[in-house]
Amino acid sequence: MDIARRKTRVVSIGQKKIGGDNPVLVQSMCNTDTKDVSATVKQIHELQKHGCEMVRVAVLNASAAKKLGEIKRRIQIPLIADIHFDYQLALEAIEQGVDKIRINPGNIGSEEKVRKVVDAAKRRRIPIRIGVNSGSIEKRILAKHRDEVTPAAMAESALSHVKILEDLQFRDIVISLKAADVNRTIAAYQLMAKKVDYPLHLGVTEAGTKWLGTIKSAIGIGSLLNQGIGDTIRVSLTDSPIEEVKVAWEILKDLGLRKRGRMLISCPTCGRTQIDLIPLAKKVEEATAHIEKPITIAVMGCVVNGPGEAKEADIGITGGKGVGMIFKKGKVERVVREDTLLDELMKEIDKL
Ligand code: SF4
């Protein structure tokens, strides 16, 4: 079943476009020292290999900002500069040719400084992402919300930054409203989706370690995407950013929003299981991780229900009595020795 996506303005980030009918894009953030160009470029290449479609780097100081041009020249995906409040770093990043900056205009300081950043972004035709995090709401806004970081307070904070940009006739805006709490994140984005038509960048911040953060992100980001909300996503994990990209893609694939690589179906095992399925499923997961073609592979425990339950899979394996079977679209193709199942499956996948 297709998801009806919310229609938003189209915003260009380098050669990519988000919003409108454009696909939801996968983003991640480097955890290298941005000044270390080689390490940062190496990580970006690795991220791109795994499906990262735009990448953000932290710009902590002038020496990091001055390296952005060199990084940009050596990568193929759009580069986003993450700046907290220093307008001079924003100006330098724009000068260096980044494709987008993340900065909250309300944090920049004087109107003059904001205008300089906005003028530079206009000249270079790059968007600005307003990134509100639950921990950084302005005191004056919190006071209006009984000092509680409510979804309404988060949305109000984002809208106050939006207004600053709109007053300067700047509309290449992307918005994010991240909280570590899943329900609050979802509610904040739902609220914002009703108020503006700017593209939304989704994420649950500080989601946690790989296992816990994957669950949190899948619920938070997945719920919003299922409601048609969201134009780019970033899964935040206390782990390698490569893992973030892998999780992001699985979320998009499971929702039917994007296709990339294999989808893996495997049964939960039960008393009918006829082979040692759990280690086999893990081996299949690893052995097929590199596949870029969008195919569905099933790993099932018994011949009684396996092929039938996985009949939508392009190819699958199932256990029989002391043997294994290869099936395609629910029909058993051939019987093989159980200890050769994985090898035989990989041969069949190669043929596909
Ligand atoms: Fe059990 Fe067979 Fe279903 Fe797997 S496919 S859960 S082994 S009935």
CATH number at residue 283: 3.30.413.10
In a domain, 3, yes or no: no
Q: Please tell me the predicted confidence (pLDDT) of residue 312.
A: 87
Percent of the chain at pLDDT > 70 equals: 100
Please tell me whether residues 162 and 300 are part of one structural domain. no
CB-hemisphere CA count at 13 Å for 181?
10
What is the CATH classification number for the domain harbouring 68?
A: 3.20.20.20
**pTM: predicted TM-score of the whole model, two decimal places:** 0.93
319 pLDDT exceeds 90?
no
In a domain, 109, yes or no: yes
Q: Which domain holds residue 64?
A: 11-254
Please tell me whether residues 222 and 123 are part of one structural domain. yes
Please tell me whether residues 250 and 308 are part of one structural domain. no
Mean pLDDT estimate for the chain: 94
Is residue 39 within 8 Å of 30, Cβ to Cβ? Answer: no
CA distance 340 to 326: 11
Average pLDDT of 152-170?
Answer: 97
Please tell me whether residues 296 and 228 are part of one structural domain. no
Q: Please tell me the predicted confidence (pLDDT) of residue 323.
A: 86
> At residue 192, what are phi and psi to the nearest 5 degrees?
-65, -35
Please tell me whether residues 162 and 126 are part of one structural domain. yes
Please tell me whether residues 214 and 267 are part of one structural domain. no
Question: How many structural domains are present in the chain?
Answer: 2
User: Rounded to 5 degrees, what angle do the CA atoms 230, 119, 100 make?
Assistant: 35
Task: Look at residues 254, 287, 317 and tell me which one is the last residue of a structural domain.
Answer: 254
Q: Could you give the maximum distance between any two Cα atoms of the chain, in Å? A: 77
Average pLDDT of 281-305?
Answer: 91
DSSP summary character for residue 200:
B
Please tell me whether residues 245 and 137 are part of one structural domain. yes
Is residue 122 within 8 Å of 173, Cβ to Cβ? Answer: no
In a domain, 188, yes or no: yes
Please tell me whether residues 40 and 135 are part of one structural domain. yes
In a domain, 19, yes or no: yes
Residues 325-336 pLDDT 10s: 999 988 888 999
Please tell me whether residues 23 and 167 are part of one structural domain. yes
In a domain, 4, yes or no: no
In a domain, 1, yes or no: no
CA distance 244 to 310: 28
- Pairing outcome for strands 323-328 and 331-337: antiparallel
The CB of 281 under 6 Å from ligand 1? The reply is no
In a domain, 6, yes or no: no
Is residue 149 within 8 Å of 184, Cβ to Cβ? Answer: yes
Order of strands, sheet of 323-328, starting from the edge strand that comes earlier in the sequence: 263-266, 296-300, 315-319, 323-328, 331-337
Q: Which of 42-46, 56-60, 323-327 has the lowest mean pLDDT?
A: 323-327
Q: Where are the alpha helices (DSSP H) in 108-179?
A: 111-124, 139-144, 151-167
Distance of CA 46 from the midpoint of ligand 1 (Å): 37
Distance of CA 348 from the midpoint of ligand 1 (Å): 22
308 pLDDT exceeds 90?
no
Please tell me whether residues 67 and 174 are part of one structural domain. yes
Distance of CA 302 from the midpoint of ligand 1 (Å): 5
Please tell me whether residues 343 and 220 are part of one structural domain. no
The number of the ligand 1 atom at minimal distance from the alpha carbon of 304 is: 2
The CB of 270 under 6 Å from ligand 1? The reply is yes
Candidates 309, 318, 321, 332: which one to mutate for ligand 1, based on the most atoms within 8 Å of Cβ? 309
Q: Please tell me the predicted confidence (pLDDT) of residue 146.
A: 92
Strand partners, 212: none
Residues 172-199 pLDDT 10s: 999 999 998 999 999 999 999 999 999 9
The CB of 22 under 6 Å from ligand 1? The reply is no
Which residue's alpha carbon is at the smallest distance from atom 2 of ligand 1?
A: 302
In a domain, 51, yes or no: yes
Which residue's alpha carbon is at the smallest distance from atom 5 of ligand 1?
A: 306
- Site of tokens 């600053």: 164
Task: Look at residues 234, 254, 274 and tell me which one is the last residue of a structural domain.
Answer: 254
Residues 209-261 pLDDT 10s: 999 999 999 999 999 999 999 999 999 999 999 999 999 999 999 999 999 99
C-alpha distances in Å from residue 101, one per residue of 85, 106, 315, 324: 11, 14, 44, 54
Task: Look at residues 254, 273, 307 and tell me which one is the last residue of a structural domain.
Answer: 254
Q: Please tell me the predicted confidence (pLDDT) of residue 8.
A: 96
Residues 64-113 pLDDT 10s: 999 999 999 999 999 999 998 999 999 999 999 999 999 999 899 999 99
Please tell me whether residues 234 and 288 are part of one structural domain. no
The CB of 280 under 6 Å from ligand 1? The reply is no
Q: Please tell me the predicted confidence (pLDDT) of residue 332.
A: 87
